[in-house]
Amino acid sequence: MSLKAVFSKHTLNFKFEAGTSRGVLTQKDSYFIKIFDTENPSVFGLGECAPLKGLSIDDRPDFELQLLSICEYFNTIELEVFSWNLNIILDQVLDKSFPSIVFGFETAMLDLLNGGKRIIFNNAFHQAQRNININGLIWMGDKDFMLRQIDEKLASGYNTIKMKVGAIDFEKECQLLAYIRQHFSKNEITLRVDANGAFGVNEALEKLKKLAEYDLHSIEQPIRHGNTDAMAELCQTTPIPIALDEELIGMIEYPDKYKLLKKIMPQFIILKPSLVGGFQQCREWIENANRLKIGWWMTSALESNVGLNAITQFTAEFSNPLPQGLGTGRLYHNNIPSPLSIDKGQILYRPDSQWDLSVLNFLV
C-alpha cells in the first residue's frame, strides 16, 4: 500500500492572442499530476503544474525531465498521505524550487484525501452554497480590441474590471479608462489595472498620478520586481494603492516573506499558488499580510479548470470580500470540461455538471 504519481502534458490553446507586457500568448503547456494508491488505482487525486513562461522560477527547458524525476523519486519512497503528514511531504519530499510542481502535488494529495472527486476543500463553494465575486480581465491588444472586451465584460454584469496596461501607448490606455469612467462612477464599477512591471522606476510616480484621475482601486506591480527600495518608496508616495504580484515569486522561507512585506509595505498583495508554491505558502503570505494590515486577493495564473477549481475552493476557505482574480476559465478552446461556471461577475460550482478528463493521457 503506497502512493504513485504519474503525469500528463496537455497544451491549452487560447481563443485569442492574449497580450501581456511580456508578449503575446497563443498556447500554454500544463502538466497534470495523478496520484493514487497502488491498491486502489481507480480512486485518484488530480493536480495541475502550470509554470508561466518568462515568469515562474521553474520555467526552464528541462521542466518535464525534472517533473519526471520528482515523480520517480516520489514513487520509490512508499508514501501514504494523511492530513497530518501532508505538509511534511510538501516540505521534505518535494523541491521548493519548483513551485508549480509543489502546487500540483499538493492539490492532487488533497483531492485524494477527499475521495478523488475534485474536492480540494470541502466548503461552501464546492457545495454550491457560495459564489465568489471576480474581476473581469481585459487583455492587452489594440485599442479597438480592448474596447470590445470592456463592453463585453460590462454587458456580462461584472462590477470590477481589471485592465492590463503597459503594452500599447499610455495615452490610449488612459482613454480606455476614461471611456469606462464616462459611463460608470467608481461606486458603480471598480477599476483595477495591472502593469506587470512595465513602468520605469523614474516614470512610475508620474504615471500613477495620471492614472489616479480615473478613481482606480489599485495597480498591480507598477515597476519590475526586485527593485525593493524603489517599490518601498513608491508605496509610500503613491496616489493609487499598489498590489505586489511578481514581487512575491521566489520568496520561499517564512521570515523572508515578512521582511519583504515589512520593507515595502504595499497596500495589497496578490497570491498565485502556481507561482508561490501552493496553498501552504499562500497561508504564510496571508498570515504575514494580516500581521502588517496588508490586504490581499487570490488570482489564477492561466491554469486550466483543474487548477482554477483548486484555487477557487482554497479562496472560499477565507472570508475575503474583495473580488478575486479567478475569471480565466474561458480562455481556452480545449479547457478541461468541469462544473465551474461564470455568471454575472461571479464564479460558481454546478454540482449537476461533470468533469471530463478524457483528453489527459497519463504515463503509467
C-alpha 329, offset from chain centre? 11
d(CA 337, CA 358): 10
* Alpha carbon distance 271, 285 (integer Å): 8
Q: How many whole angstroms separate alpha carbon 107 and alpha carbon 164? A: 29
Residue whose C-alpha cell reads 501581456 in the numeric block: 20
Contact 208, 240 (CB under 8 A): yes
Distance of CA 344 to the CA centre of its chain: 20
Are the C-beta atoms of 87 and 110 separated by less than 8 Å?
no
Bridge partners (DSSP) listed for residue 270: 297
Which position among 153, 164, 207, 257 bears the catalytic label?
164
15 annotated active-site: no
| Beta strands in 248-324, from DSSP E residues, in sequence order | 268-271, 295-298
C-alpha cell at position 197: 512591471
Nine cell digits for residue 275: 507561482
**Residue 179 carries which side chain, given as an amino acid letter?**
Y
**What does the radius of gyration of the chain's CA atoms come to, in whole angstroms?**
20
Residue 211 phi/psi, 5-degree rounding, is: -65, -30
Residues known to be catalytic: 164, 272
